[in-house]
Structure 1
């Protein structure tokens, strides 16, 4: 039989994990803290999984101490840096596919997806821009209103579950989740008051720019 233990920490500033006391707390800082946590718990080696911000934190963990991370699994893997060649190929590959090494099949598969991706990114990324630039402004307002906080959080449960739910009067919230599940998520933010500190994590990461040293570092562990 295979026996394993799951350690599922919250990023400092999320849920009931104490918020950082200093500015500059980004994904690399979180990665260092999680390594310290695992050492204190007695783990010499372990596997790591991450999604959303966890993708970046666990990737940083693998970059920092590759001999400790036996394997890395992520369910969200955007390109760490776009780079000029990639940007040019995406912008002009439709008109000059051979110049950028695209086949006809590449064009058929890539550009309908890119068009949809761009449209959806523009339509659904407003929260990210707010949190990456003005986290305290919107966060203070949400901490003052449980209804406002619920609306802000649950809107994502609707649109990120199924884009068609945007057209439903109730957002289709209970088609995939129970009210208990939804309210439990909201109450974690409300009772801990962590919405501001969780939003600051966006600012600390995006505020330093997307071209950070770790974005160019390879991940050597099995991924």
Structure 2
């Protein structure tokens, strides 16, 4: 069962722990049905039967033949994936991450007809700046756990009390323990409005937003909508590709004239990325998320292989590098979360909802309509590394731009200390800024 509140439980099947079902009502929840505006405590308790079923399916995996190349250009390599999946079915322990989650304050609240799960940790320091941090695919709230301590308690992690944040980390609708939309329309704009409502319900009248991957379009949409209280945003996958560059990339044409040496290098990297088929997962989930979902929902090995095709895992060594982050268990935590909540299909639909609007295209993401302060950090191993010239062209109120020396697509997961330092620096100038001044 997934414990939704004190005395309130939801029963789930072994094969679909976390699926939508009518909650039972306990004494502490009477008079507060799902669908209201109340905030309910949440705890995760996956039934043993769901974990037994997962191990049974792993043991029954029907493996394909070996790839015909010596690199991962055809997808996850058979020997490496087999080793990971076999460990998943024998040595991996889901209960450890379940304990980590349940040690944090977790909640759900119904917004626009969908139950939103979120972690909310308040700082012990006065005047902490609230920040809402949004994950993407194939990530989850789990990729952000390591930054909660440093952000909320900076004096214990090399920072100053005045750097403190209150941290809100929601699960995107269709992901993890949030509800699954049953209709269309849950695109980044709608999620952005839901996040503004969430921060309002939490009583925050001034706050900032942060996002990478899908969290970037969602945070950008928040900045474009400029809800009351939002001071500014920080992105680690910014939409800065100029229209003429996007057009050339889409058509396969040569680079536009007039690019600087650095801009030309970025153009060439993007062209090579697309030519190599690295965005094939993006194309398929954008076009046919339901078709993709059948296999991912039925096969744990298939789900793992599909998640690991994401270019953010291109340099991941399947846990073989001691001390590297994320570890083998942490990646399996994330994959297992997708499995237990049966969210492979519902999460993929976000791509379909956003079709035709490239997440790194300045025109598609309407960056010209953003007047709120924007901060950007570029991590060197990310799938897109925007030059500062494009960033300043895309965002008229760019207050911070920094290229760091390490880290990739899952920045908070891979380099939590550096990610934390970037948020501290990026938002420092906004801490004393009234919300109405930030929107000018």
TM-score range for the pair, normalised by the shorter chain length:
0.7 to 0.9
Task: Give the TM-score of the pair, scaled to structure 1.
Answer: 0.80
Gaps of 5+ in 2: 1-160, 375-440
Does structure 2 retain, via aligned residues, the 8 Å contact 1:154–1:182?
no
**Structure 2 matches for 1:25-104, cutoff 5 A?**
25-65=186-226, 67-79=228-240, 82-84=242-244, 87=247, 97=257, 100=258, 102=259
- Which residue of the partner structure matches residue 293 of structure 2? 139
Asked whether 1:116 is paired with 2:269, we answer: yes
Distance 1:211 1:55, change over 3 A: closer
RMSD: 2.9
Question: Which of 327, 332, 347 is matched with 1:178 structurally?
Answer: 327
Change (3 A) 1:110 1:213: closer
Would you say 1:8 and 2:163 are equivalent positions?
Answer: no
Q: For 1:165-198, what per-residue CA distance to the aligned partner results, in whole angstroms no more than 9, with x for missing partners? A: 5xxxxx6221333221111010110000011011
Q: Tell me what 2:336 maps to.
A: 187
Q: Is the 8 A contact 1:66 1:221 kept in 2?
A: no
Does residue 1:200 correspond to 2:349, yes or no? yes
Q: Distance in 2 between matches of 1:67 and 1:73?
A: 17
Q: Deviations over 1:35-59 (max 9, x none)?
A: 1111111111101101111111111
Q: Which structure has the larger Rg over C-alpha atoms?
A: 2
Q: Distance in 1 between matches of 2:245 and 2:302?
A: 43
Distance 1:116 1:207 in 2: 22
Secondary structure of the residue aligned to 2:166 is coil
Find the aligned partners of 1:217 and 1:110 in 2 and give their Cα distance: 20
Deviation at 1:217, TM superposition (A): 4.5
In structure 2, the residue matched to 1:221 is 372
Structure (1/2) with the larger helix percentage: 1
Q: How far is the alpha carbon of 1:12 from its aligned partner? A: 0.5
Aligned residues: 204
Alignment partners' CA distance in 2, 1:206 and 1:199: 12
Higher relative contact order (CA 8 A, sep 6+): 1
Aligned partner of 1:168 in structure 2 is none
CA-to-aligned-CA distance 1:118-164 (integer Å, 9 cap, x gap): 111232100000000000001121000011101111233xx4244xx
CA offset digits 1:33-83 (Å, max 9, x no partner): 111111111111101101111111111111112542112100001337x53
Deviations 1:91-122 (A, max 9, x none): 5666xx4xx4x5xxx1x333333222211123
Whether the aligned pair in 2 keeps the contact of 1:62 and 1:221 (CA below 8 Å) is: yes
Question: What residue ranges of structure 1 are gaps of 5+ in the alignment?
Answer: 166-170
Q: 1: distance between equivalents of 2:291 and 2:217?
A: 25
In structure 2, relative to structure 1, the CA distance for the partners of 1:207 and 1:144 (3 Å cut) is farther
TM-score w.r.t. length of structure 2: 0.42
Q: Supply the distance in 1 between the matched residues of 2:245 and 2:165 (Cα, whole angstroms).
A: 43
Q: How much does 1:220 deviate?
A: 1.3
